[in-house]
Every structure is written in C-alpha cells, then in structure tokens.
C-alpha cells in the first residue's frame, strides 16, 4: 500500500505521508436495507498534522462497471457514517479526507467517468447542486511501469506481473523481484506467496519445463527436503511410480538439474531421466 501511494499519487502528497502510521482498518457498512458491505479495504495514514483515511476499493473486474461513480459516492458516505457511529470522529468536527481508488485489471480500457458529476444531468440554474466526487482509477494493464520497477516499487512490480503476456517476461520480472526482495526479511511472507504464484502459473510440459524464479534460496531447500522425504516414503510403497514422477518433475520445474536432483535424492541419474 505504501508503494501504491509512492508510485501512483502526487509526489508532494506521498512525501508528506508518515508511512509508519499506515494501518489497515476493518470496514463493515450496513445500509438501510441491511445489506452488508465487507469486501472493501480501508487504510489510514497520517498526513502532516491530520489523519487522512485512504479508501482502497479492490474489485478486479473484467469489464468496466457503469455504476462505479454511484458506488464510490455511497461507500464514502457509509465510511463517514461508520466513523461517526463508532466514535472515531466527532459529528460536530471536520470529516477526515477520503481518497477513493479503483484497481482495474480488465482487458478493455476503463471507459467509465471518474467523477459522478460527469454522469449527472443538471440544468444551469441549479448547477451548484451537482456533486463532484472524483476517484482514482489504476488501470493496471495500461500503466507505464518501467521507471517504477527500476526503483523497486513493489506495487508497480505486481502490476507488471499482470501485464506480462509472455512467460519469459513473467519469469524475468520474477527473477528481479526475488533478487531484491530476498534482501529484506520483512518481505519473506510475500516472497512465499509469489513463489506459489509462479509455481502454479509457470506451468511445465515434458518438452520444456519452466523454472520458478524464486528458486535457489531457503524456500527451495525446504521444498527439496520435503520432496526428498516424500520420495523415500514413496520408494517403500508399491505402485507409487506416478507420485515419484510428479515429485521429480517438480524439482526439475524449479530449475534443478538432473545431477542436482540425483545428489539431493540419492537416485541414479538414469532412473531420474527415465521417470521424468
């Protein structure tokens, strides 16, 4: 979230945010007809001498949503009402600022107005009653990200994964991500998640296995240790050749050579070649 602010908000705003105070808040709003809204993300960060509430709405829609301007206006009102109801702000004081953000990863460009005012027809004599509620659209597949990836912006790198249409590009970006993320122990949980993402996304075939770019580190060693134990267990059982073949192919898909698999498992190289 901090990198999203640094990379996609006004630099002057981002530089004044105290990211040490950045905190995710729970959101659960109940409308008059008692329908709950719980699939939103609310973040709070201190900006200068005030606490600015940042509203991050993640929908991941495949097509633009024409109702988004109305929804944004509704969610903002519900958030303010919730803050007043729970006593987090005074009903007589100033309201905290809210910045609505829509993350969009659809194939077609976002073509919905980014301000509800553009969707409202209002005659000139009463034009002052027309509201203006803009929101930020992050159209992930059409962003120019190279400069942000170069400065190791994590949010931009994740969007870059969305943009990668070729497996080679995806693998190269994964290698770069792993190279700098492994230097920060705080990112280990996310690295494990990304490793699973690549393991499931970079599908292999028998002719051209594609390795996981998050290999060669502690996570791979842990996997190899577990797989080796499973291989030994399978070796004691009859009729388990397919399971052994699957485990060996996983090692190969992680970029291990036949000799490395042999050294780790104790199996002859010829047997490994035969099985995979």
Q: Does residue 125 lie in a domain region?
A: yes
Same domain membership, residue 223 and residue 91: no
Same domain membership, residue 15 and residue 152: yes
Can you give the residue range of the structural domain that contains 117?
2-159
- Copy the structure tokens of residue 55: 């509203």
Using the structure block, give the residue that is written with the tokens 């903002």. Answer: 76
Same domain membership, residue 223 and residue 153: no
- Copy the structure tokens of residue 114: 């980014």
Q: Does residue 133 lie in a domain region?
A: yes
Residue 111: count other Cβ atoms within 10 Å of its Cβ. 8
Closest to 117 measured CA to CA, from 109, 127, 125: 127
Q: Does residue 189 lie in a domain region?
A: no
Q: Does residue 79 lie in a domain region?
A: yes
Same domain membership, residue 230 and residue 139: no
Please return the burial class of 126, using the count of CB atoms within 10 Å of its CB with bins 0-12, 13-18 and 19+. exposed
Give dist(CA 190, CA 192) in Å, integer: 5
Same domain membership, residue 259 and residue 155: no
Q: What is the pLDDT of residues 209-222, one digit of tens each?
A: 566 777 655 555 56
pLDDT of the residue at 219: 52
Give dist(CA 108, CA 194) in Å, integer: 26
H or E stretch at 85: helix 68-85
Structural contact between residues 181 and 157, judged by C-beta atoms closer than 8 angstroms? no
Same domain membership, residue 123 and residue 20: yes
Give dist(CA 213, CA 223) in Å, integer: 14
Where is the domain boundary, 159, 176, 208? 159
Q: What is the pLDDT of residues 58-110, one digit of tens each?
A: 666 778 899 999 989 998 888 888 888 888 888 888 888 888 889 898 888 99
Closest to 183 measured CA to CA, from 217, 134, 233, 211: 217
pLDDT of the residue at 34: 44
pLDDT of the residue at 114: 94
Q: Average pLDDT for residues 160-173, to the nearest whole number?
A: 74
Higher pLDDT, 135 or 38: 135
Where is the domain boundary, 135, 159, 183? 159
Q: What is the pLDDT of residues 219-245, one digit of tens each?
A: 555 666 677 777 766 555 545 677 777
Same domain membership, residue 95 and residue 20: yes
Structural contact between residues 152 and 183, judged by C-beta atoms closer than 8 angstroms? no
Same domain membership, residue 227 and residue 152: no
Q: What is the pLDDT of residues 14-68, one digit of tens each?
A: 999 999 988 888 666 655 544 555 556 788 888 887 777 777 666 667 788 999 9
Give dist(CA 255, CA 224) in Å, integer: 12
pLDDT of the residue at 111: 93
Q: Does residue 181 lie in a domain region?
A: no
Same domain membership, residue 226 and residue 125: no
Same domain membership, residue 228 and residue 155: no
> How many structural domains does the chain have?
2
Record the pTM.
0.66
């Amino acid at each position: 979230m901090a990198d999203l602010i640094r990379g996609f908000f006004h630099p002057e705003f981002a530089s004044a945010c105290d990211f040490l105070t950045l905190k995710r808040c729970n959101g659960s709003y109940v409308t008059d007809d008692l329908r709950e809204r719980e699939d939103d993300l609310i973040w709070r960060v201190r900006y200068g001498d005030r606490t600015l509430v940042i509203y991050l709405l993640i929908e991941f829609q495949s097509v633009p949503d024409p109702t988004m301007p109305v929804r944004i206006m509704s969610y903002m009102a519900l958030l303010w009402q919730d803050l007043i109801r729970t006593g987090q702000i005074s009903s007589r004081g100033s309201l905290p600022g809210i910045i609505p953000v829509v993350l969009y990863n659809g194939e077609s460009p976002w073509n919905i107005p980014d301000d509800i005012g553009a969707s409202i027809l209002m005659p000139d004599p009463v034009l002052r009653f027309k509201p203006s509620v803009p929101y930020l659209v992050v159209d992930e597949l059409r962003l120019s990200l190279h400069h942000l990836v170069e400065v190791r912006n994590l949010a931009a790198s994740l969007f870059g994964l969305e943009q990668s249409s070729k497996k080679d590009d995806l693998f190269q970006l994964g290698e770069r991500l792993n190279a700098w993320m492994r230097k920060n122990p705080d990112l280990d949980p996310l690295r494990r998640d990304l490793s699973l993402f690549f393991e499931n996304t970079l599908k292999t075939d028998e002719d051209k296995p594609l390795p996981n770019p998050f290999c060669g580190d502690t996570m791979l060693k842990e996997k190899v240790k577990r797989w080796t134990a499973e291989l030994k267990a399978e070796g004691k059982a009859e009729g388990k050749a397919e399971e052994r073949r699957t485990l060996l192919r996983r090692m190969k898909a992680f970029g291990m050579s036949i000799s490395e698999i042999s050294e780790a498992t104790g199996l002859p190289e010829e047997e490994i070649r035969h099985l995979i």
